[in-house]
Amino acid sequence: MSGQGPIPSLGRSKGTQRPAEGGPTTSVAFAEDRPSGILAMLRLLDSSRRAVDVDPDEAEPGASSSHLPDDPAEIAAAILFGRAIERDPAILDRIRERSPVLIVDCPDDSWLEPMTNVLVRGFGSGSTLWKRTPGMQRSAGQAVVVKGRSDDVRIRAETPGVDVGRAFRNFQALICVAAPGRSRLPFEVERSWEERIPLGPLEPDDLTMIAARIVGSDPKTTVPASIAARVDATDLRIALHASRGADGSIDRLRAIVERRVSKPPAAPTPRLSHLSGYGAAAEWGIAAAADLAAFGRGELPWADCEPGALLSGPPGVGKTIFASALAREADVPFIAGSLAQWQAEGEAHLGTTLKAMIGFFREARKMAPCVALVDELDSFGDRRKLADYNRSYGVQVINGFLECLDGDGGRAGVLMIGATNDATQIDPAILRAGRFDRVIAIARPALEELPAILRHHLGSDLVASDLRPIARKALGGTGADCAAWVRRARGRARRAGRPLVENDILVEIAGSAGRARVEDERRVAIHECGHAVAARSLGLSIGDLVLRSPGHGGGGYMGFAPPGVVTRHVLRNMLIVLMAGRAAEILAFGDPSAGAEADLLAATTLARDMHVRWGLDRRLSADGGRMVDPAVGTLVERALRSAAKSALALLGTRRERLLELAEMLESRRSLASVEVEEFLR
């Protein structure tokens, strides 16, 4: 077959041509006006379906469609590749004679699987294109067809068992099916490809041909070119069926596409490297994603990869988004589950709960390499703290979960991610090495991170705006808060019939924080600055200061993180810091307010743990907090009063700086930790 010669199977059908749109039609399955490249591909498919080895050149143009694939997506894929042959008839020669490395670029990733199937039948192991010569092995001429890995985690896009290197060793053509911007290629293909073959969208006549071959008769109507161009492989598989008839299939197809294109597309999951606000957690996640991707390519053993991690942080900081973005970063599927979901499978019955849990892990192993998220991990509880009435049930659920985590066959390729608001409530066995031993804290975004988070949610809105002033107002909020503010702000602008402006977002942030009298805000500023001054004086870290935090119900907020090593001295200083907000109010106004409730609760818990858990005060016996000893209450009260007295004395010597810092906080509404440190230095 010469590079300038005709395409195989150029014969024309003896059928009549299709009349003008809207009129009666006859069969166009092999109509004379079809391009010869499309006919060549359909004949290759037809011949690959037959039990005998027949050269495609010998196939009758009007061969029965009963031999053709009954998958409309594969017929459409053959048509798309056939049109590429029509544009460049020498493609077949190059594939057959020169063993090139080609990339076939599909319109989108829904075509990856059907196009791969078509090319395997047309040019791979199922093909009759290759003419055997004496002494020639059957596999020597066949092409190796591989499929790119889809960026859409809902689509399984891999080719198990296909050895890309075999194409190079045997001097075979290597054809990789891809979707530009939506799939990743094997690294061997990225290094060696010689030619890309772009495939265009479907045309109205193509849909007529596909319907005729599926149903057996031509539809009397066609779809507009604008709709045909938006049809994907999934649409065809849903709509076209012999039971609907030709016109019913086309009508159904048109309705599906019109409904889909009339809706704005869902925002794709971003890659972890494109997100802001995760700090050190993002660094770990990007490294873990790189290892997972390397495992998927066979470049790294699973023993050298991270098996899992626990994401811990307050609600709304983006733990679920982090896990899905990690999967996107690694270009692997993402699967999510929770104890609540598994219990919902059978009204929390133990048998159905365990069955659903086992099914989740089984599906994750099938999808490997993948990222599997178990949300609300603290809902399993701690076997040491389970109440007697449901202890047996809880123990069996936790034990079943532990068995699933370990598994008889292991879980190679499954990166487990747990998410929790409170890691202290999780059974220690769940957190042991090899399960969720790495705990990664995800905190509320810092001031310098909020502009990027707001920009992500704003998209193309307010592109010329400086978001730093808005971020200062939003300090204390989470990524989920930012998404809600932007969504509500867009709604406000939409109802007003105008574009979004900065004030729309500021109004929504202010609405979350609520309104307060000036004198009340003055008290809040004094209270929060009391914490900051005490922490700075005692050598503890200072977080951001917010006057009216939208993420804390409109109350004041000072970020605070305890040091890594906790000793008796450190804990007593932490008690002083917790009591310093109340002490600052006493210094400034003469009396404290009821606004110190959260501080008092935290201080009480801390002082009690010093006595009954950690042996860092007058008692060495530890009861885990289960027993109630009246003597402990007396000791805790004594510790709190001592800390309150120390806080009052400490702030009394720094009263002027306290008032100045409070005045600055009132003016700016929020202060980043570095600004507070600089002021108090």
The C-alpha atoms of residue 295 and residue 290 are separated, in whole angstroms, by 9
Name 149's bridge partners: 184
Q: Yes or no: say if 79 and 108 are a contact pair by the CB < 8 Å rule.
A: no
**Backbone angles phi and psi of 371, in degrees to 5:** -110, 125
Q: Yes or no: say if 370 and 326 are a contact pair by the CB < 8 Å rule.
A: no
First-residue to last-residue Cα distance in the chain: 84
Among residues 565, 564, 562, which one has the least CA distance to residue 541?
562
Burial of 407 (0-12, 13-18, 19+ CB in 10 A): middle
Report the DSSP pairing between strands 334-338 and 370-375.
Answer: parallel
Strand order in the sheet with 334-338: 334-338, 370-375, 414-420, 308-312, 439-441
Q: Yes or no: say if 228 and 253 are a contact pair by the CB < 8 Å rule.
A: no
Given the residues 158, 449, 508, 528, the one annotated as active site: 528
Active site residue 528: yes
Report long-range pairs for 300-306 (Cβ below 8 Å, ≥24 apart): 302/410, 302/412, 302/413, 305/415, 306/415, 306/438
Angle at 93 between CA 201 and CA 55, to 5 degrees: 95
DSSP string for 646-679: HHHHHHHTTHHHHHHHHHHHHHHSEE-HHHHHHH
Among residues 67, 80, 62, 59, which one has the least CA distance to residue 128?
59
- Catalytic center residues: 528
